[in-house]
Structure 1
Amino acid sequence: MLPVAQLFARDVPLLRAPEDTDADLLQVLWCAFDHPDHPRTATYWRSSPAISNSLSNPPDPDALQFPGYLPEPCLLIPEEVTEYPNPLELSTEDQQQLKDAARWRQAGPGWDDAYAAAADEFYRNQLSTSPGWKIGGWTRWSLTDPMPRRCSTCGSDMYPLLTIASLEWGSATTSWIPIEDQATAAPSPYSRPSNPTLLDLARGYDLQLHMCPVSAEHPHLELIQ
């Protein structure tokens, strides 16, 4: 199993542990082979004061199915943002209103008139489901329509825990680039700023882990979108 993410509650206030644990540390690992169509993940909730020994560098894997399954080590700098549900999770009436460019123009200077022919895409790209790695937030429905996500053990509604993203932003979502990174966000032949982890999941999609709120022992859910 390869280490994928290590998150402390002190650094990520929105990190939510299940009710049956007082853990303050989440560790996510995965197998670097498809099971059946993406890496199989494992989540571990731990108490950081109880950890006495740690590795300074993770061991190299013996084998990989794809190079894009080996994360490049990165130091995370969490930033809290506001995002809104995917349009597919909105009512039919709200979805129709999102297509009305006149309403958007009345909303204020944030509107981009380049979206006039498809006003709902402005909402999808600029306001809904922020791109990149994230804790919590809304689900990025793209390959499927919204579906129930319930714990297979107790039937509780599961919550989005962690999104592992192939890219931090795309050509249509550059407005989400942090201001301090915008000057260096343009790709070059030698680097790809939008992909610091060098991951490539299901040819550019994201893997979102959902957790049961009741128990850390209940199986989590993996969702590719």
Structure 2
Amino acid sequence: MTRTTPPRPLDIEGLFPELGEHSATATRLHPRPGAPTAADSSVGGPLLWPAGESWPVCTDGADHYISELRTPASVRRDREIFAAAAARAASGDRYDLTDAERAEVPDYDFSEPDDLVEQPIPLVAVAQLYRRDVPDFAGPDGTDLLQVLWCPLDHPEEGYNPRVRLYWRRSGDVVDPLERAPEPPVVNDAYLPTPCVVFPEQVREYRYAALLPAELETRIRAWEGGGLSYQSDLSLAPGWKVGGFAGWSLTDPLPMDCAECGAAMTLLFTAASGEWDGGNGSWRPVEEPETASCDPTGVTIGRGYSLHVFRCPASFEHPHSTAMQ
């Protein structure tokens, strides 16, 4: 089954032809819960990882911001319980947990012992993207695989977000793959993605309004008011995506310049708290019913934001940067 973004309510570039100079393609990943393998592009699925290569860990220990630590197994069980309750409700029953289910769900403020973070924390798989599947794939020449991992705990120096690591590979070089990745002893439950298959779809985006030339932004703002929003309906696709442009809804646009060479960075990847907004839902794929969950991955960034990962256009070896918006 594919996922198809509805046509935009109108052709904004037709009204403002100058927007063509401020457009780019993005690939919406459309993650949905499933059973991906290491041979697949996925969100939260297993990675094609060499058995002889050490799995990355975070050793920040007590420097993590610690709040409501959970084991990965307990997070998954919670999600199973609430998914079962939702399925019963969809069949006409009242949404509720059974007594047995309720007994399994921890109290809202339950947390595993803090000292569990003092050991090395294996990173968790966030996304695996094969070049063949993602039209907007970007990577070093000769590579065909991007793997995104993060530490599933909050890092104060990262804006109280997970710390991201990127790996590019040639999939054909992995002849002895790792059978099972190590799991962290504890996680922030918002940073443990549900394993999802993806349905990549390329869409057209336009730059965030405040980053357009001032005269063009002014004209667009003057045009708005007929019920359509440049920002919400016509320019930036929400959800998990590769490429395109970042939104800056939380702060004013920040300068995302390479720490190595000073070049203006470009958006590589976005991990999102939801696939479409809860308002008009204009970005909800046409195949999805109105009752479909807009949060298939279980990931929440901050209070419902997105985590943008930027790369340097001069070299993939230069450090990436992130911004929560």
Give your verdict on TM over 0.5: yes
Match for residue 98 of structure 2?
Answer: none
TM norm structure 2: 0.58
Q: Distance in 2 between matches of 1:173 and 1:145?
A: 24
Q: Distance in 1 between matches of 2:189 and 2:301?
A: 10
Q: Distance in 1 between matches of 2:196 and 2:180?
A: 12
Is 1:177 the counterpart of 2:284 in the alignment? Answer: yes
Q: Could you give the per-residue CA deviations for residues 119-150 of structure 1, whole angstroms, max 9, x where no partner exists?
A: 6x611111121100111101111122223222
Is 1:215 the counterpart of 2:315 in the alignment? Answer: yes
Percent identity for Structure 1 against Structure 2 = 43
Point out the more displaced range, 89-98 or 206-215.
Answer: 89-98
Alpha carbon RMSD of aligned pairs, Å? 1.9
1:68-217 equivalence runs, <5 A: 68-101=190-223, 115-116=225-226, 122-172=229-279, 174-181=281-288, 183=289, 185-186=290-291, 193-217=293-317
Indicate how the Cα distance of structure 1 residues 176 and 57 shifts in structure 2: closer, same or farther if over 3 A, else same. farther
The answer as to whether partners of 1:125 and 1:172 remain within 8 angstroms in 2 is no
Match for residue 47 of structure 1?
Answer: 170
Write the letter of the residue equivalent to 1:197.
T
> Which one of the candidate residues 132, 136, 140 is aligned to 1:10?
132
Write the letter of the residue equivalent to 1:82.
R
Partner of 1:34, secondary structure, is coil
* Residue 56 (structure 1) shift: 5.9
TM norm structure 1: 0.82
Match for residue 153 of structure 2?
Answer: 33
Write the letter of the residue equivalent to 1:40.
R
Q: Distance in 2 between matches of 1:122 and 1:207?
A: 22
- Indicate the structure whose relative CO is greater, using CA pairs within 8 Å and at least 6 residues apart: 2
Q: Distance in 1 between matches of 2:281 and 2:177?
A: 37
Partner of 2:310, secondary structure, is strand
Indicate how the Cα distance of structure 1 residues 56 and 174 shifts in structure 2: closer, same or farther if over 3 A, else same. farther
Structure 2 unaligned regions, length at least 5: 1-122
Write the letter of the residue equivalent to 1:23.
T
Indicate how the Cα distance of structure 1 residues 72 and 56 shifts in structure 2: closer, same or farther if over 3 A, else same. farther
Match for residue 110 of structure 1?
Answer: none
The answer as to whether partners of 1:125 and 1:173 remain within 8 angstroms in 2 is no
Indicate how the Cα distance of structure 1 residues 56 and 173 shifts in structure 2: closer, same or farther if over 3 A, else same. farther
Q: Distance in 2 between matches of 1:215 and 1:96?
A: 35
* Residue 45 (structure 1) shift: 0.6
The answer as to whether partners of 2:135 and 2:202 remain within 8 angstroms in 1 is no
Aligned residues: 200
Match for residue 108 of structure 1?
Answer: none
Q: Distance in 1 between matches of 2:314 and 2:212?
A: 27
Q: Distance in 2 between matches of 1:162 and 1:90?
A: 21
